[in-house]
Amino acid sequence: MHFQWYPGHMTKAKRMMQENMKLIDLVIELVDARIPLSSRNPDIDELGRNKARLILLNKADLAEEKWNDAWAEYFKSKGFLVMKVDSRKNNGMKPIHGIIKEACKEKIERDRKRGILNRPVRAMVVGIPNVGKSTFINSLAGKACAKTGNKPGVTKGKQWIRLNKQVELLDTPGILWPKFEDQKVGLMMAFIGSMKDEILNTEELAAELIGLIGQHYPGVLEEKYHLETDPDAYVMLGRIAESRHCRLRGNELDTEKAAVLLLDDFRNGRLGRLTLEYPQEV
């Protein structure tokens, strides 16, 4: 399966981010804690050069805790400030204001020496589609400021949100990059819903996920769907269809429906806390 999705609005969004970067003190980058490397857009490092940087391991509740800690250490070793958050349930959000101040302490001190008081820190919130930027902003603001959705492409344009007198956030659309050098990155992003499912072969995607879960988390699918294991991912998909009564007319198994169900269960954490990428593989 070949992965590529770069609709026209992403080119426009990247240009908008470049134009606004001069107004920004801090870049807050959200990544999905289950795939922290594949959910990083390599263009962000170039765009955010010379800016303070904060990486948020979002959806940390869906990833295994020991790997959350390992990834946090990995990114810290690269010079980033890092936090684990679950913005959907508002976990890990309270310290964010303090971290923002810490990230921009040099800028705040510079302003103070120049006699500039109370100029808010301006932070740009960035990340690939469906990584939870708008949910994070709403959670931090304590109210619905940004549109949210469980599919990519909900945020279309930029939006300034004033959190308080000290911090203003710029919400940006999720952007990918024109060409994936490694198709495994595309596969990982497809798992978490960062590309439109309509352009993907859902059964093939589900089979890939079954293989990966079987490799790193043996027994999870068998326990969740009450079925016997099989080395063939497509056989397992058929068994999931049978277990969940996914059938077409004529009593034929509906593996397409089973694939959608499996992907939905994974994306929403119903299979437990699963991490699919590990720092030692970098």
* Number of residues assigned to the chain: 282
**Arithmetic mean of pLDDT over the chain:** 89
pLDDT at 57: 97
Q: What are phi and psi of 31, to 5 degrees?
A: -125, 160
Give the rounded percent of residues in the chain with a pLDDT score beyond 70: 91
Please enumerate in sequence order all residues whose Cβ is within 8 A of that of 196, keeping only pairs 6 or more positions apart, or say none. Answer: 5, 151, 152, 153
> Which domains can be identified in the chain, with CATH numbers?
8-171 (3.40.50.300), 201-281 (1.10.1580.10)
Mean pLDDT of 182-202: 89
pLDDT tens for 39-58 read 999 889 998 988 999 999 99
Backbone angles phi, psi at 94, to 5 degrees: -60, -40
What average pLDDT does this structure show over 93-114?
90
Q: Is the pLDDT of residue 153 over 50?
A: no
Burial class (CB in 10 A: 0-12, 13-18, 19+), 99: middle
pTM: 0.89
Over residues 57-80, the mean pLDDT reads 97
pLDDT for the residue 7: 60
Residue 224 burial (C-beta neighbours within 10 Å; 0-12, 13-18, 19+):
middle
Side by side, the strands of the sheet bearing 52-58 are: 81-84, 52-58, 26-32, 121-126, 167-171, 159-162
What pLDDT digit, counting tens, does each position of 212-236 carry?
A: 999 999 999 999 999 999 999 999 9
96 near 140, Cβ under 8 Å?
A: yes
Quick check: 109 pLDDT over 70?
A: yes
- Only one residue has tokens 């971290």, namely 99
Distance between CA atoms of residues 178 and 198, nearest Å: 19
pLDDT band at 282 (very low <50, low <70, confident <90, very high): confident
Residue 195, pLDDT score:
85
pLDDT at 152 over 50: no
> CA-to-CA distance for 268 and 193, rounded, in angstroms?
11
Q: How does pLDDT run across 119-139, given as a tens digit for each residue? A: 899 999 999 989 999 899 988
238 phi and psi, to 5 degrees? -60, -40
Q: CB of 147 within 8 A of CB of 100?
A: no
What pLDDT does residue 6 have? 58
**Can you tell me which residue has the tokens 């077409």?**
248
Distance between CA 121 and CA 169 in Å, rounded? 8
Whether 271 has a pLDDT exceeding 90, the answer reads yes
Helix-helix angle 202-216:233-243, to 10 degrees:
100
Asked whether the beta carbons of 276 and 34 are under 8 A apart, the reply is yes
Q: How confident is the model at residue 16 (pLDDT cuts 50, 70, 90)?
A: confident
